[in-house]
Chain A
């Protein structure tokens, strides 16, 4: 029996130093026997969360829809970006204020960076602007797939860890490159499910399964490529710790309802993982005891 089969909750959860939640509702839960639920508290980056849903804030039809979607999602972490601009008051300030008002933890990204140097500089800017040492580290290596550049990513990770950041690296699902990130001092991994914004779901679930099995104590967050709540359910059933998505909600016909759908899917998937999913069988296995015994003869 593998370690994961023995106790999926223990090996599938992050083992990091706990810090009291900073947001009302962070630790709310309804105790369920045997003491676990789909919203069990978990720990990441020095914080305790109950939601396993990280939500992006881009491309919503309006600020109001974004605000309602964040509320419907139950997300306690939302991602933000930075842009080279000099807007004078108004829109930029309003958006930042709106997101801050949700009470969610902010996870700024380094979207648009192609080199480690760019990403490190932008991360420092983000730390100052958003007042957080959390950084979603994106260093893109290909303009068509928006695939991360594993080499620049590693260089940037090593530097940012030295600079005191909690690095959330958007990375490939390759085990060895993930291990290198951990060797560089990274505590968290965010492997892609599929190319950003593609909605293809988990294109390589086997690789994610390998990551979970080989890195049982490392928080794994599927980042990018999720299209439908069923993709999120699958990720959670694989034992990953959380899901980060944006387009699947923002581009839905009704983003607020879709945010709720993902919330429920992520909770269901996590609960299924904790409950332990039955083993697949090649042939039928009768569930009703009388099967195979004709009762009219």
Chain B
């Protein structure tokens, strides 16, 4: 019986204040799993803005605080 080269381990992050279990290794992986247009979402991890083109480099760790922002009406 063969085993896969990589077994995804799930861990918990906090997304917009709510705990969430994920297997995403990077922020980009996490965004890709959200069924949201990546360009329609701005992201920050642990209070630091993570630009779109740096999401793939941002590794996720247990307990990371992910925050996402989207456009809304405004005055």
Contact = CB atoms under 8 A, between A and B. Distances in A.
**A and B assemble together:** yes
Interface stretch (B4-12, B21-29, B31-39, B56-64): B31-39
Q: Label chain A's interface by main secondary structure.
A: mixed
B40 A81 contact: no
A86 B49 contact: no
Interface in A216-234: none
Interface string A45-63: 0000000000011111000
Contacts of A128: 42, 51-52
A17 interface: no
Q: Chain B contact residues (Cβ within 8 angstroms of A): what range?
A: 20 to 34
A95 B72 contact: yes
B62 to A, nearest CB: 20
A79 to B, nearest CB: 5
Contact of B16 (A86, A95, A245): A86
A122 B71 CA distance: 11
A60 B42 contact: no
Interface string A187-219: 000000000110000000000000000000000
Nearest to A224: B75
A109 interface: yes
A122 B75 CA distance: 15
Contact of A129 (B34, B36, B44, B70): B70
Q: Which 10 A-B pairs have the closest CB atoms?
A: A81-B74, A56-B75, A246-B75, A125-B42, A58-B73, A82-B69, A83-B72, A57-B73, A96-B71, A124-B49
